[in-house]
Chain A
C-alpha cells in the first residue's frame, strides 16, 4: 500500500530550482531512504512532505503530494494539520531548552494546550521514550533539562517527541550525522524497531546506513530522482550508471 505519492513536484529557493519534476511513491510501514550527494535536493524533498520547505523565505513549491489520497498541497489543507500526521526528526537535536525532558516529549500536546490527565501524560511519555529506546536512561531524570543529556540521548528524546503525537509518517533528516558511532548504532536499532509503528522516510548521506536500515532506496542527483527500488536491488544491482557510480564511491 502506498502511504505517500508525489506527483510532478517542483521546488525553488528564490530563482534556483532545487527539485525537478519529482514522481515517487512510498510504501506504508516501510523504511525508505533518500540518498544522494550533498545539494541533490534530498533534504528539500523531505521538507516538502510536511510543508516545512515553504516556511523558508523565498521558497516555493508546485505539484502534489498525496497522503492517503489527500493532496496536502490542496488550498484548503492547513499545513499545521499535515504536520500533526507527519512527524520529523532533524539533523541536530533541537529539544526545547526551556522545557524539561518530560515536557519536551509531550511538547506536541503541551504547546497546543491539549488537556491530558496526569496518568495519560505519564503513559505517553513512557511509551514514546520506550519506543525511542531511551526510557531506561532517562526515567529517573525526566524533570531535568535537555542540556543534561548527551547529543545522542537528546536525539533519541527528539524521536520520542515526534512519536508522542502518534504520527503516521516519521521524517528523519540525517538524524545521526551529528552523532558518534555508538549513538548512531543505537538510533539505527530504534529506527528498525519503529517500522512496526510508522512509515519512515530517512534522508542520509551515509550509504552504509541506508543499506543497513531501509527497505526501499531513492537515489537523487541534481534535484531529480535517478532511481527507485528495493534497497538490496539498488545496492547490489543498480540499473542506472549514475547510481552505480555513486554507491561505489566514484563521486559524492
Chain B
C-alpha cells in the first residue's frame, strides 16, 4: 500500500472511531431527552402524594410507588451491603484458596446475571411458601442483585488499602478483626460508598425481578408481607397500557426515576473522582 493510501486509511478510520463515540453519546441524549421532553410537562406536585387512579379519572399519582421503592431499596441494602462488604473482606483478608476463587468468580458472574432469574428464584423460595407476593420478597430479590455490586467494589477498595496500614495496627497489638473493622474498612470506605450508591441506583431501576416478588399495589402500603407498589412496576404497567393519560403518567414517573438514577450515578462518580485526588 502506498504511503498516500495509508495516510487516507489512517484519517478515515480515526474519523470513524470519533463517529462511533458520537453515535453512543447521541443515543444517551436521545433516550434521556425523550424522557425529559415527554415527562417533564406532566409533572405536578399532586402526583407525589396520590395513588394511581383508573384511566380517564383526572389526577392520580405515584406516592405509594415512591414509598414502595424506598422500602424495597432499604430492604435490599440491609441484605446487600453488609454481606457484600464481608465478601470483599473474605476474599482479601482471609481467603487464599479455592473458596475465595469461587467466591470471586461467582460474584463476577452474578454481577451481570439476568435479574429476571433472581426474581423467579425468590418467587420459588419465598412467594410460593408464603402464598403471597410481598415487599419482603421484592427486597430480598433486589438485595441479591445488589450484593455482587457491593462485593466487587468492596473487594477493589479493600485491595487498595496498603499493607502498611494493617501492619501499623497489628504492631500496636490490635487483633485482626478490629484492624479490619476499624482500619481497613474505614480506609476503603470511599470505594465502598461509591459502590453502594451505584448499587442503589441499579436496584431502584429494576423491574423484571419485582414482577415475580413484590408485584404491585395501587394502594398505600408499608407492610412487608403484602405486595407493594414500586416506581418501576407502576411505570411498566402505565407504559404498556393503551390509555394516553396513563402513558403520560408513565413518562412523568419515568422522568423522576431517571433523575434519581442519574443523580446517584453522578454523585457516585464525583465522589469517586474526589477520592482519587
- Asked if A and B touch directly (CB within 8 angstroms), the answer is yes
Q: Which residues of A contact B (CB under 8 A)?
A: 50, 52, 55, 57, 80-85, 87-88, 90, 92, 94-98, 107-108, 111-113, 158, 161-162, 165, 171
Say yes or no: is B54 at the interface (Cβ < 8 Å to chain A): no
CB atoms of A94 and B172 under 8 A apart: no
A80 to B173, CA, bound (A): 5
Task: Give the chain A neighbours of B182 by CB distance below 8 A.
Answer: 111
CB atoms of B171 and A80 under 8 A apart: no
Say yes or no: is B174 at the interface (Cβ < 8 Å to chain A): yes
CB atoms of A96 and B168 under 8 A apart: yes
Say yes or no: is B183 at the interface (Cβ < 8 Å to chain A): yes
Say yes or no: is B82 at the interface (Cβ < 8 Å to chain A): no
Write out, one digit per residue, whether chain B residues 136-173 have a CB within 8 A of any chain A CB (1) or not (0). 00000000000000000000000000101101111111
Task: Give the chain B neighbours of A112 by CB distance below 8 A.
Answer: 173-175, 178
A78 to B47, CA, bound (A): 63
Say yes or no: is B103 at the interface (Cβ < 8 Å to chain A): no
CB atoms of A90 and B173 under 8 A apart: no
CB atoms of A111 and B187 under 8 A apart: no
Of A95, A98, A111, A162, which one neighbours B178 at CB under 8 angstroms?
A: A111
A52 to B176, CA, bound (A): 12
Of B164, B169, B175, B187, which one neighbours A107 at CB under 8 angstroms?
A: B169
CB atoms of A83 and B183 under 8 A apart: no
* Sample of 11 more A-B contacts, CB < 8 Å, known A83-B173, A85-B173, A98-B189: A55-B170, A57-B96, A81-B173, A83-B171, A84-B173, A88-B171, A96-B168, A96-B183, A107-B174, A108-B173, A111-B182
The chain B residue sitting closest to A113, CB to CB, is B178
Say yes or no: is B186 at the interface (Cβ < 8 Å to chain A): yes
Task: Give the chain B neighbours of A57 by CB distance below 8 A.
Answer: 96
Task: Give the chain A neighbours of B221 by CB distance below 8 A.
Answer: none
A185 to B165, CA, bound (A): 25
CB atoms of A111 and B167 under 8 A apart: no
Say yes or no: is B132 at the interface (Cβ < 8 Å to chain A): no
CB atoms of B187 and A98 under 8 A apart: yes
CB atoms of A94 and B187 under 8 A apart: no
The chain A residue sitting closest to B173, CB to CB, is A84
The chain A residue sitting closest to B181, CB to CB, is A111
- The contact sample of 10 A-B pairs, CB cut-off 8 A, is A83-B173, A90-B164, A96-B168, A96-B187, A108-B174, A111-B182, A112-B178, A113-B178, A161-B172, A171-B171
A26 to B154, CA, bound (A): 43
Task: Give the chain B neighbours of A52 by CB distance below 8 A.
Answer: 167, 170-171
CB atoms of B168 and A90 under 8 A apart: yes
B194 to chain A, nearest CB (A): 16
CB atoms of B171 and A50 under 8 A apart: yes
The chain B residue sitting closest to A164, CB to CB, is B172
A212 to B175, CA, bound (A): 36
Report if A83-B170 is in contact (Cβ < 8 Å); known contacts: A94-B162, A94-B164, A96-B165: yes
A1 to B163, CA, bound (A): 35
CB atoms of B174 and A111 under 8 A apart: yes
A112 to B175, CA, bound (A): 8
Task: Give the chain A neighbours of B164 by CB distance below 8 A.
Answer: 90, 92, 94
Task: Give the chain B neighbours of A165 by CB distance below 8 A.
Answer: 172-173
CB atoms of A80 and B174 under 8 A apart: yes
B205 to chain A, nearest CB (A): 32
CB atoms of A94 and B165 under 8 A apart: yes
Interface centre among B182, B186, B189 (most CB of A within 10 A): B182
Say yes or no: is B111 at the interface (Cβ < 8 Å to chain A): no
A82 to B171, CA, bound (A): 9
A161 to B162, CA, bound (A): 18
CB atoms of B186 and A107 under 8 A apart: no
Task: Give the chain B neighbours of A55 by CB distance below 8 A.
Answer: 167, 170
